[in-house]
Amino acid sequence: MKTPPRRMSKEEFEQLFQKVCNWGKWGPEDERGTLNYITPEHVRRAAGLVKSGRSVSLAIPINKTAGPDNPSPPAHYMVRNHDLAVPQGEPRFAVDYFASVFHGDCHTHMDALCHISYKGKLYNGKPAASVTSQGPTMLDVTAYAQGIVGRGVLLDIPKLRGVKWLEPGEAVTAEELEAAEKAQGVRLEQGDMLVFRTGHHRRRLELGPWDNNYEGEGKAGLHAGAMELLHERKVAVFLPDGDGETVPCNVEGMSFPVHALQVAAMGMCVADSLQFEELVQVVEEEKRQEFMVILAPLRLPRGTGSLFNPIAIF
């Protein structure tokens, strides 16, 4: 499996883009993309997976320390201790201030569909220029305002390979995803949320942060070709540690092919930089790779995404 998968030419990429493209599929004004795959029945079945009642976060605790994967850390300040009296003196309040640019390589967040453009187009063929300095005029994160509920399916690639984590630059192909399904006793079906583990955060916990972007050491992720499988299976949501990209890139002359395919072509609901280190413990104890998942990004009009805390329930 560790043999690096064949590189994809730019031409092959363009063909793949067309193949997985969902533009128009749910109407010209659709803003929900692959969430359309999730039916009420899927939600019901997901809720049916709740047995032990345990819930577990898939978010990295917010990291306020500058570092190679966090060059512009969030600002988090106390702006009020318990020192100030209210009208009648008591009780008193402690208050904080929090500010961030959350896109990037170490904060667990969702991407709105407006976040990615490819050749001047957003999902559904909408113009990139619809996103001005005043924010997106369509496809913002409020498309996800009512929450996203469904079945999460963990494919744990390091477990499949018998390693602690994938090394930067290693790509996971469709074949390997299918091997993981088989080995781990699950199958991706319509409306599912793919919980895709490369061990990125485990590596960070053990070795410390590194620059995982194109200028740096890179990261493990999906091979661009694997998007075909996700498309065929009608996967609704993609939840990776890392951000799904393999860096350096396995498409010639290109960067971020996975985002281009998932978000711009497929209209897929995706998140970046989750962590599954608490999840894998629970998965092992509960002896199952499937669980209910709830995603609840902030209702931020004109947001290009949102910090969030995805929750798995067993």
- Residue list 189-228, contact with its own copies (CB under 8 A): 214-215
Of residues 155, 188, 260, 269, which one binds its own copies by CB under 8 A? 260
Among 7, 164, 187, 299, binds its own copies (CB under 8 A): 299
Residue 2 interacting with its own copies (CB under 8 A): no
DSSP string, 18-86: HHH--TTTT-TT---GGGGG--HHHHHHHHTT--S--EEE-BPPP--S-BTTBSSPPEEEEEE-TTS--
> What 3-state class would DSSP assign to 202?
helix
- Using the minimum distance from each CB to its own copies, give the nearer residue, 200 or 259: 259
**Closest distance of CB 117 from its own copies, Å:** 4
User: Among residues 198, 212, 246, 304, which is the contact residue for its own copies, using CB under 8 A?
Assistant: 304
- Residue 256 interacts with its own copies (CB under 8 A): yes or no: yes
Do 247 and 281 form a contact (C-beta atoms < 8 A)? no
Q: Which residue, 33 or 157, is less far from its own copies as judged by CB?
A: 33
The yes or no reply on residue 16 touching its own copies (CB under 8 A) is: no
Instruction: Compare residues 165 and 308 and give the one whose CB is closer to its own copies.
Output: 308
Indicate the residue among 161 and 223 with the shorter CB distance to its own copies: 223
Q: How many residues bind its own copies (CB under 8 A)?
A: 107
**Under rule CB under 8 A, which residues in 130-189 are in contact with its own copies?**
131-136, 142, 145-149
Smallest gap from Cβ 42 to its own copies, in A, equals 7
Q: Which is nearer to its own copies, 114 or 160 (CB)?
A: 114
Query: Strand, helix or coil at 297?
Result: coil
| 284 exposure class (CB count in 10 Å sphere: 0-12, 13-18, 19+) | exposed
What CA–CA distances, in Å, run from 304 to 27, 30, 52, 132, 162? 22, 17, 35, 12, 37
CB of 54 to its own copies, least distance (A): 7
> In the window 48-67, what residues touch its own copies (CB under 8 A)?
48, 50-57, 59-62, 64-67
Q: Which stretch binds its own copies (CB under 8 A): 97-105, 156-164, 182-190, 194-202?
A: 97-105
Separation of alpha carbons 93 and 80, rounded Å: 7
Place of tokens 């995805």: 310
Between CA 32 and CA 88 the distance in angstroms is 49
DSSP 5-37: PPPBPHHHHHHHHHHH--TTTT-TT---GGGGG
Q: How far apart are CA 86 and CA 94, in angstroms?
A: 12
Specify the residue, 24 or 248, whose C-beta has the smaller distance to its own copies. 248
Residues 75, 216: Cα–Cα separation, whole Å = 24
Q: Of residues 27, 75, 187, 207, which one binds its own copies by CB under 8 A? A: 75
Is 303 a binder of its own copies (CB under 8 A)? yes
Binding status of residue 18 toward its own copies by CB under 8 A: no
The nearer residue to its own copies, 184 or 273, going by C-beta atoms, is 273
Shortest separation between residue 19's beta carbon and its own copies, angstroms: 17
Nearer to its own copies, 145 or 179 (CB): 145
Q: How far is the CB of 279 from its own copies (least distance, A)?
A: 11
The token duo for 136 is 């997106």
Residue 285 host element (H or E): helix 277-286
Decide if residue 264 touches its own copies (CB under 8 A): yes
